[in-house]
Amino acid sequence: MGHGSRRPYLSTTNEDKEEEISGNTLRVYWYILKKRENCGVREVQRALGFSSSSSAHYHLEKLADKGFLIKDKYGSYQVNSKVKTGSISPFMLIRGFIFPRQLFYALATTVMNVFFLTFFWRFLTLIVVLALAPGILACIIFWYETVKLWPSLPSFEESVR
């Protein structure tokens, strides 16, 4: 079987890329994103609990073929920082931790509402409550979206060293 014949899943549009990266392939991508270092096949196999190294290799190669990972001459894989997938766009990666973007919006609107209430508590009239209502509504929406999005983070076991 030739190398070109095993690539029927390659696609050229971003929409197709988003559909293709799911399940264990997405878990592998998240793992390497979170680790922020080069990863080898065996490391990914152990960390994600794959039964064989060929499963880990398949997902790593799939990501490399799509351009999400770069394979170096030693066989290690790293994230291609120039490519983003739509399935991770609702999340932010900060120092190896992954958070939903809405979490930051929820925190910001909550802090603004608390400050508003702190400074205008004595002057709480109907007009002040009406002025605060859009901020409270935005805060509720952002917290709802954060809680709804959080479970979509893939879970994986960290390797024991």
pLDDT in tens, 114-156: 998 888 888 888 888 888 899 999 999 999 999 988 877 655 5
Among candidates 34, 36, 35, 54, which has minimal Cα distance to 45?
54
Residue 146 CB neighbour total at 10 angstroms: 19
Tokens 């030739």 locate to: 2
- Domain range summary for the chain, segments of one domain joined by +: 4-87, 91-152
pLDDT band at 161 (very low <50, low <70, confident <90, very high): very low
* pLDDT tens-digit readout, 74-94: 888 877 776 666 656 677 777
State the CB neighbour count (10 A cutoff) for residue 95.
Answer: 5
Return mean pLDDT, the chain: 76
Domain 4-87, CATH 1.10.1070.20 — does that match? no
Confidence of residue 99 (pLDDT cuts 50, 70, 90): confident
Q: CA-CA distance, 93 to 90, in Å (whole number)? A: 10
Span 55-74, average pLDDT: 85
Q: SS3 breakdown of the chain: % helix, strand, coil, rounded to 5? A: 60, 10, 30
> Does 33 or 4 have the greater pLDDT score?
33
pLDDT at 142: 94
Task: Put residue 23 in one of left, alpha, beta given phi > 0 → left and psi -120 to 50 → alpha.
Answer: left
What's the mean pLDDT in 4-18? 41
Q: What is the pLDDT of residue 119?
A: 86
Residue 84: the pLDDT is 61
Beta strand residue intervals within 40-158, DSSP E: 69-71, 77-79, 91-94, 97-100
